[in-house]
């Protein structure tokens, strides 16, 4: 079977083509694995503290000439495993076949760096129509599912909006403490955004503030910002958010040279008042070692004097202006108005925020605080541990077992087949999960799969991905989100593909927008999870066989549980 899985190593391609995992396959995985890597992952109690999970040995303590000696199938209290005896020191490691399989070298996907664009859903304003992530404070506080939904939105979309947060001074700290720790700065633990008689920052005037990130002169920059609206009766003072990652990706597409200039030029950002003198030298667009967008800084107010040769200054200013113009382009900015009690939580390394000028004919008072993404991500991961997968099991047993949606198999059978096809192809766990769960959105949104068949696009890929984010990260949710787009993509780029669609799938293709244009296909192919979505799509199309042998939902539970728990 041809597959988009794998990042290119020979081992990975062979693995994907392999049959269902057996202990024998586990022995093969050990033989293929780099020795130092495998030994560094030895789970025994001598190598890894059973209490903290931390490694107990130094990399320098591994013997010279380390190599796998004897390898044998083993059974570790019922878990299929492989025992490895190491040369030259005779150390013995026991690896489960499931671990060897899930972590085999060259496998694509997995968590990766979720701070980069690869872990995000990039958006323009229209993409969020009807799905701005918001929750009522009372529900957020008491319902872990609501809290997880909001925290996940901050990681994926860059923000979440809490409503009806008590309008008390200092309450913004209580909001931050639901997921992490306040980062105190020279502005205090909490800062007041209102008109000040002697402001040390333009934020504390009534002036218009164009899209910007905060505190670029601080290093490390605060990665999260909270803004809690206590009063907003002035005319004007409306809010806006721009996805800086989406804007940077657009710049890379339209003007790659300008993107490169901004990514390689450290810019001095400065702030100075009576008690403070901050300076940080960081690029406007920061990329990771693979060139993926990781942080965006943009703040015209605090860019200091660049010192570069004249030709480089010319190139920088042209690129800076191009990015600035792009950020103001219609359609990017989500406009809204903070009502008293609203608390906005957003990723200050990604989203730019703005406000319109306001008249001093009323009162406008926000309280803000800074915090950090790492604490928020930790809180979300711990919440996901506690959220059982019962709802998914119920979807498979209840509505999924009853709906056919134009095929000869039920939706539950269809999804179980897709998951089994992925598992049997040796796909990594996150893709098995994505294949298994790709259609749950037919049952979880306000518009049903029946209505899709009747001609209304129920956007089930989005509602499904949003539901799955309760338990899973983007490596599971984003292939699901893109699996409808992947059909439109494949119909555009593979002439034979469309002919193989089932009648029902051809029918819904029309409702979903038909094949992509060449430009849409090129954009799709560059998305971080495009290849994974294509793989899911291929299993999706094959998973319509009457009476296939798949195992039931419970047979996938160990895999789903291990993914859900990090």
* Cβ 522 to its own copies shortest distance, Å: 26
79-87: strand order across its sheet: 67-76, 79-87, 92-96
Torsion 508-510-512-518 (CA) sign: positive
> Do residues 502 and 407 touch, judged by C-beta distance below 8 A?
yes
Nearest approach, Cβ of 122 to its own copies (angstroms)? 19
Nearer to its own copies, 50 or 69 (CB): 50
Please check whether residue 187 is in contact with residue 204, taking contact to mean a CB–CB distance below 8 angstroms.
Answer: no
With contacts defined by CB under 8 A, name the span among 323-331, 397-405, 417-425, 552-560 that binds its own copies: 323-331
Q: Which of residues 347-386 bind its own copies (CB under 8 A)?
A: 372-375, 377-378, 381-382, 385
Assigned token pair, 489? 């993509």
Q: What is the 3-state secondary structure (H, E, C) of 246-314?
A: HHHHHHHHHCHHHHHHHHHCCEEEEEEECCEEEEEEECCEEECCCCCEEEECCCHHHECCCCCCHHHHH
**Binding segment (CB under 8 A) for its own copies, from list 19-27, 46-54, 120-128, 158-166:** 46-54
Answer yes or no whether residue 67 interacts with its own copies by CB under 8 A: no
* Minimum distance, C-beta of residue 339 to its own copies, in the bound complex (Å): 28
373 or 452: CB nearest its own copies: 373
Considering the complex, state which of residue 257 and residue 401 has its C-beta at the smaller distance from its own copies: 257
Nearest 10 degrees: Cα torsion 170, 174, 179, 180: 50
DSSP label at residue 188: B
Block residue for tokens 């599971």: 476
The number of residues making up the chain comes to 566
The least CB distance from residue 356 to its own copies, in Å, is 14
Shortest separation between residue 169's beta carbon and its own copies, angstroms: 20
Residue with Cβ nearer its own copies (205 or 523): 205
What is d(CA 389, CA 198) in angstroms, rounded to the nearest whole number? 55
Which is nearer to its own copies, 181 or 253 (by Cβ)? 181
In the list 4, 9, 163, 167, the residue contacting its own copies (rule: CB under 8 A) is 9
Residue list 174-193, contact with its own copies (CB under 8 A): 181-186
C-beta of 310 vs 503, nearer to its own copies: 310
- Closest approach of its own copies to the CB of residue 498, in Å: 34
Candidates 223, 232, 367, 444: give the one binding its own copies (CB under 8 A): 223
- Candidate list 268, 340, 406, 515; residue touching its own copies; CB under 8 A: 268
The DSSP string of 482-496 is: THHHHHHHHHHH-TT
Spatial distance between the Cα atoms of 477 and 436, rounded to a whole number of angstroms: 12
C-alpha distances (whole Å) from 397 to each of 59, 122, 469, 540 are 48, 34, 21, 19
Could you tell me the smallest distance in angstroms from the CB atom of residue 199 to its own copies?
Answer: 6
Q: Minimum distance from CB of 189 to its own copies (Å)?
A: 9
Question: With CB under 8 A, what is the number of residues at the site for its own copies?
Answer: 102
Nearest CB to its own copies, comparing residues 277 and 394: 277
- Interface stretch with its own copies, choices 34-42, 138-146, 242-250, 459-467 (CB under 8 A): 34-42
Angstrom distance (rounded) from CA 37 to CA 122: 34
Considering only residues 492 through 531, tell me which ones interact with its own copies, judged by CB under 8 A: none
* Exposed/middle/buried for residue 540 (C-beta within 10 Å: 0-12, 13-18, 19+): buried
- At its nearest, how many Å lie between its own copies and the CB of residue 470? 16
Q: Is 45 in the site for its own copies (CB under 8 A)?
A: no
Q: Within a 13 Å sphere around the CA of 518, how many CA atoms are in the beta-carbon half? A: 0
Window of 18-26, 30-38, 476-484, 512-520 that interacts with its own copies by CB under 8 A: 30-38
CB 558 within 8 A of CB 433: no
Beta bridge partners of 295: 286
* Radius of gyration over every alpha carbon of the chain, rounded to an integer in angstroms: 26
Query: What gap in Å lies between CA 527 and CA 524, rounded to an integer?
Result: 5
Separation between Cα atoms, residue 450 and residue 458, nearest integer Å: 9
Out of 17, 20, 31, 34, which residue is the one contacting its own copies (CB under 8 A)? 34
Residue 255 binding its own copies, by CB under 8 A? no
Binders of its own copies among residues 106 to 165 (CB under 8 A) are: 106-107, 110-115
Interface residue with its own copies among 301, 337, 498, 507 (CB under 8 A) is 301
| In the complex, least distance from residue 428 CB atom to its own copies, rounded to whole angstroms | 9
Residues 454-473 that bind its own copies (CB under 8 A): none
Closer to its own copies by CB, 155 or 403: give it.
Answer: 155
Cα 50 to Cα 41, 194, 305: the distances in Å are 14, 52, 53
Encoded one letter per residue, x for contact with its own copies by CB under 8 A and - for no contact, window 380-399 reads: -xx--x--------------
């Amino acid at each position: 079977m041809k597959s988009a899985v794998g990042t290119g190593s020979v081992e990975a391609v062979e693995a994907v083509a392999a049959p269902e995992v057996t202990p024998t396959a586990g022995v093969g995985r050990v033989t293929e694995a780099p020795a130092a890597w495998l030994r560094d992952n030895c789970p025994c109690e001598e190598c890894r503290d059973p209490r903290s999970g931390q490694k107990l040995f130094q990399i320098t303590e591994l013997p010279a000439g380390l190599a796998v000696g004897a390898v044998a199938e083993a059974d570790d209290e019922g878990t299929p495993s492989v025992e490895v005896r190491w040369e030259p020191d005779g150390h013995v490691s026991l690896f489960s076949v499931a671990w060897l399989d899930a972590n085999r070298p060259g496998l694509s996907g997995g968590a990766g760096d979720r701070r980069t664009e690869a872990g995000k859903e990039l958006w323009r304003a229209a993409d969020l129509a009807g799905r701005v992530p918001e929750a009522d404070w009372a529900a957020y506080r008491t319902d872990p599912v609501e809290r997880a939904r909001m925290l996940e939105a901050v990681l994926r979309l860059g923000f979440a909006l809490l409503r009806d947060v008590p309008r008390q001074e200092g309450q913004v700290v209580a909001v931050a403490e639901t997921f992490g720790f306040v980062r105190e700065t020279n502005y205090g633990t909490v800062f007041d955004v209102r008109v000040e008689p002697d402001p040390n920052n333009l934020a504390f005037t009534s002036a218009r503030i164009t899209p910007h990130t905060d505190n670029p002169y601080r290093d490390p920059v605060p990665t999260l910002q909270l803004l809690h609206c206590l009063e907003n009766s002035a005319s004007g003072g409306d809010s806006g958010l721009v996805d800086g990652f989406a804007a940077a990706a657009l710049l890379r597409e339209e003007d790659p040279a300008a993107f490169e200039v901004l990514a390689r030029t450290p810019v001095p950002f400065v702030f100075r008042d009576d008690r403070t003198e901050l300076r940080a030298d960081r690029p406007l667009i920061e990329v990771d070692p693979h060139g993926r967008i990781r942080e965006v800084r943009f703040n015209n107010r605090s860019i200091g004097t660049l010192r570069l040769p004249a030709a480089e200054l010319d190139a920088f200013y042209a690129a800076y202006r191009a990015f600035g113009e792009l950020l103001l382009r219609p359609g990017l900015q989500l406009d809204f108005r903070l009502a008293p009690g609203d608390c906005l939580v957003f990723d200050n390394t990604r989203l730019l925020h703005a406000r319109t000028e306001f008249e001093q004919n009323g009162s406008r008072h926000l309280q803000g605080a800074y915090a950090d993404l790492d604490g928020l991500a930790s809180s979300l991961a711990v919440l996901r541990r506690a959220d059982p997968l019962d709802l998914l099991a119920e979807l498979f047993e209840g509505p999924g077992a009853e709906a056919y949606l134009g095929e000869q198999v039920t939706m539950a059978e269809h999804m179980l087949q897709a998951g089994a096809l992925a598992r049997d192809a040796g796909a990594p766990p996150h893709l098995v999960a994505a294949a298994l769960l790709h259609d749950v959105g037919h049952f979880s949104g306000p518009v049903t799969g029946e209505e899709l068949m009747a001609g209304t696009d129920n956007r089930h890929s989005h509602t499904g991905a949003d539901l799955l984010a309760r338990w899973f990260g983007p490596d599971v949710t984003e292939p699901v989100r893109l699996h409808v787009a992947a059909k439109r993509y494949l119909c555009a780029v593979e002439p034979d593909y469309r002919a193989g669609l089932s009648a029902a799938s051809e029918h819904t293709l029309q409702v979903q927008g038909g094949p992509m244009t060449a430009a849409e296909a090129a954009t799709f192919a560059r998305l971080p999870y495009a290849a994974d979505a294509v793989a899911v799509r291929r299993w999706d199309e094959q998973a319509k066989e009457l009476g296939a042998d798949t195992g039931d939902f419970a047979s996938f539970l160990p895999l789903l549980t291990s993914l859900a728990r990090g």
